[in-house]
Structure 1
Amino acid sequence: TVTRRDGHWVLNGTKYYATGTLGATWIAVAARIEGRENGDTATAFVRPDQEGVTLDLESWSAFGQRGTASGEVRLNNVVVDDDLLIDEGPPPDPITADPSVLGAFDQALHAAIDIGIARAALEDGAVFVRTRSRPWKEALDAGIERADQEPHVVRRFGELTARLYALEALLARGTALIDEAYAAPEVTRDAAAQASLTVAAAKALAQQDAVEIAGAIFELTGTSGTDGAVNLDRHWRNVRVHSLHDPARWKYVHLGNHTLHGTRPPRLGLIL
């Protein structure tokens, strides 16, 4: 919250998972303006070394996405000058506010990270199978001398590749709809809804399929692929953690309501 006091603003609160603050010169803080009846919000800009700002990077101990330094930021009576605060007024109503594809744009970035990790896992897994995996005994008995020539391995790689292609194609369609919405004279509700729903579908499916792809490579590499020195598990750890950024279950609800009833998704700012 921010409070007007003695001619300036005073900022208080805690932000969990404040990704990127470790290397930040400025921290942008979304806050509620205390004492306003309309629930007015603001964005305040503070420095990491400013009095009252505490960065607790030790609070981030997830098994994946370790490099994001997504620790906690605590704000205790931090003074913010007028020129470092944007008074945004009441938050937009999720039903009646002007249409926007900002949420779809944000979600496309997150989906791209998940899908990109899946591609890296599949490509790295393929290299390992080609160069290091040993064929199963029954394959050797059948005259197959290399793991990457086992028909079951080849088929499974094909299945995972098909899922990856589908994710990439769906994301490409969603981002194209974002571009089309921006290119139009004005963003319409239908254009915003279609872009948001398509990207939401890509993000929801990536939470499922990208995680499976990153984990399935170990079925194909064999036990040697789990060696910590190889570090193939980083892909699964990273996508498992990042894919939890926002729940897929709500995206499926919005998709279902649109298919059944033609209901447009709510305007939720950065998240759908």
Structure 2
Amino acid sequence: MATHIAKSATAFVPPGLESLFKRLLKLHRQANQFHESRNTEERDLASDASHRYFNGVLQETVDILRPLLSGSPKTSKFPRATASVEAINLVEDAIHKFSSLNIAGSSRDYVPPIDTRVPPEDSQSDATIEQEIKRLPEVKTVVVEMNEDQQEDEFFVLIEMFIGEIHEIREPLIKWWTAYKAGTMELSIVAVLTNVAIDLVRQAELEFEQFLVRPKKFPAALFPVSTLPILLYLWEDPPCVICLKGASEIFPTIDQDSPFRHE
């Protein structure tokens, strides 16, 4: 499919697709590292090989489409407008980082990304584009079926990745508050940035819950997103029965029938 798109004279790859591919590659590499770090007897070697093969296909797709990506130097079909390249890059970089953030309760109005591309003179009509799409080769639907153990592994891999993203929000906060204590940053600025970070984390939790596929023994009613970090901790290092009795006071959903229980 990527080769067919790359050979098309009228192909257009939307801006930001390269960033999406990079993010997918990063997530899949993290998933591979997670699975390969487990004990040999706990690993599914066939599944590991399948993950590595998919990563190779994804990387090959990026390499094929790279000449059509708007951010690629000297290969873009849409040359930039006659403005300062450095200024445009700074604006686009800032917009790319913040335009997709949807903060619940924010009073700011959403500002759509600025399109600095110059459309080609031979741009085609929507009908022509639809015809081009219809001529694309058919892609068969792939149904991925996972058993309960695989769903559980995937569940905790996603939790670990989510926690990693939350830490990426936390790290600059530490730097800002350190700068405030050193007297190099105003309290009002740090407070506003902290409130924005809190809103981002809350929104991230809501979005994470929407696409998270849960195993049957971890329903959202008993294990909301706020409890997922401790779930990951208990899954990686299951506590003894005595520990569970003490933990039940601060984490009521853990009891003697806990899936983490062991003698």
TM-score, L = length of structure 2: 0.30
| Higher RCO structure, 1 or 2 (CA under 8 Å, sep 6+) | 1
Higher strand share: 1
Q: Could you tell me the TM-score, scaled by structure 1's length?
A: 0.29
